[in-house]
Amino acid sequence: MAGDTPTALEYARRLEGKISDEIARKVGWIQIIRQGPFFAYAQLADPATTLSLEDPGDEFPFVKASWHYARGVAFARLGKLDKATAEKANITAIAARSDVSYPPDIAFAVDDVLRIAQHVIEGRIAQSRGEWDQAVSEFRAAVEIQDDMAYLEPPFWYYPVRQSLGAAHLQAGKPEAAEKVFRESLNRLPGNPWVLYGLMEAQEAQGNMDVAAETRRRFERAWGGAERPEIGRL
């Protein structure tokens, strides 16, 4: 969340081979841990690196879906939208399977996670096309699902999609709406530097430079990345 890409990806790599298949079959939250590296790459890595990640195999469809998700986001960033759509379709197919039994500690959340993944990919595709209103619609749908999900720490979905909704409003030329959404996100997760950056951009777009300067200071205290985030990647 702090944007420290080298550290995040290093620890994502360290997870490889650390969790046995036997345990993952019995304990659902272990499968969530296995998803973590794919989400880290989707958020922080360049598309080529993300697309080089090995297929995790078919035994754990929930984990496989996160691999498809990371690839869908990467293809959307590259402008390869047919391939991004194909990755979303793979997630849809996993969600539709009736032959898969998930451990009870995740079974109730699987459908929601897979639906969020599909909406976020569609949102990224819309952003790549410059279809800002469609991006807003997709991210709003994902936010509504996320808001109704059961509590888990860390959460079932790896980042607050509300920050993407705010970014899409900003890209659509609606900084007032963006500011409102970013503030809602900060109420739920105070100090999130991705959201602080978006809030700063929304304030500057409205000419509120003094307020934006204070938000910038908050962002800079919280951000651990070498480069600032891009609005299109919030």
Tens-place pLDDT, residues 188-203: 999 999 999 999 999 9
Mean pLDDT score of the chain? 95
Ordered domains of the chain (ranges, CATH): 1-134 (no CATH), 160-234 (1.25.40.10)
Q: How confident is the model at residue 23 (pLDDT cuts 50, 70, 90)?
A: confident
pLDDT > 90? residue 29: no
DSSP 121: H
pLDDT of residue 12: 93
Residue keyed to tokens 């999130």: 192
Q: Which of 148, 60, 64 is nearest to 102 (CA)?
A: 60
DSSP 233: G
For residues 161 and 120, the answer to whether their CB atoms sit within 8 Å is yes
Q: pTM score, two decimals?
A: 0.96
76-132 residue pLDDT tens: 999 999 999 999 999 999 999 988 889 898 999 999 999 999 999 999 999 999 999
Q: Which pLDDT band, with edges at 50, 70 and 90, does 26 fall under?
A: confident
- Three-state DSSP class for residue 149: coil
